Structure 1
Amino acid sequence: MINKIFFVILISLFCINEGTAKEVQKAKSIKKRLNDIEIRQNLQSNDILELQESIDELNQTYNKIDQCSEVDLNRDRRLKEKTNNREYENNNILFKAFKEEKAWIRAEIEEQKSTVNRIDLQFKALQDNFDISINKVIGRVDILDNNVELILDKNIKMINESISIISERLASEENRMKRQMAKIEKLGKAVDSIEKECKKFSVTLNDFESKTDDKIMKIREILATIPSCPSNWLQFSGNCYHLYKWEANIDSAVKVCSNENAFVADFQSEVELQYIRSIINLDQNIWVGITDREEEGNWKSLRNEKQIEFSNWEKGQPNNFFAGYDEGCAVMYHDSGLWHDYRCSHTFAYICKKVVPL
Structure 2
Amino acid sequence: MMNYFVLGIFIFLLLESFVYTQEVEVVVENKDNQCDAYCFKVLRPMLEHISVMQERWEFCNSSKLANTSSRLDKIESQLVAQEAKDVSYAAAIEETKMKLLEQKSLIENQKNINRKPFQKVGSKYYYIEEIQQLNWFGAAHKCLEFGAHLISLDDQQELNAINSKLNPVNAYWTDINDLSEEGTFLSLTSGVRAKFLNWRTGEPNNADRSEHCVYLFGAYSHMNDFKCSSPKYFICESFDA
TM-score normalised per structure 1: 0.34
Which has the larger helix fraction? 1
Q: Decide which structure has the larger Cα Rg and report it.
A: 1
Higher relative contact order (CA 8 A, sep 6+): 2
Which has the larger strand fraction? 2
